Amino acid sequence: MRAGEPEKRLMVAVLQAVMDDCRGSRYRRGPGRFAPPDRKHNRQARAYAASVDRAWPFSFENLCDALDVDARSLRLVLRQAAGATAPVG
């Protein structure tokens, strides 16, 4: 990705936030804080990743296409990383 592609950097940031929220990542919390993962953000991120709607330009499917990422494979990674019992996608 080139520095002149701010929209691509934004797309990557959105997918990174979804990944962090699906995993309940400790990186989304401040240093030294051990708060439990935010379940609401986890549910919202999983629902976003599960959606196949392409109407919104920043939908999961459209971001994956624009970044040349296989949406199905990323959903599998998110499901495995979260240890989710409810499927993501």
Query: How much is the pLDDT for 27?
Result: 55
At 27-56, the pLDDT tens digits run: 555 566 555 667 888 889 999 999 999 999
What is the domain partition of the chain in residue ranges? 6-28+37-82
The rounded Cα 18 to chain-centroid distance in angstroms is 2
Per the confidence metrics, is the pTM higher than 0.85? no
Helical segments of the chain, H only: 6-23, 39-50, 60-66, 71-82
Ranked by mean pLDDT, the top range of 21-25, 32-36, 44-48, 78-82 is 44-48
Query: How much is the pLDDT for 83?
Result: 67
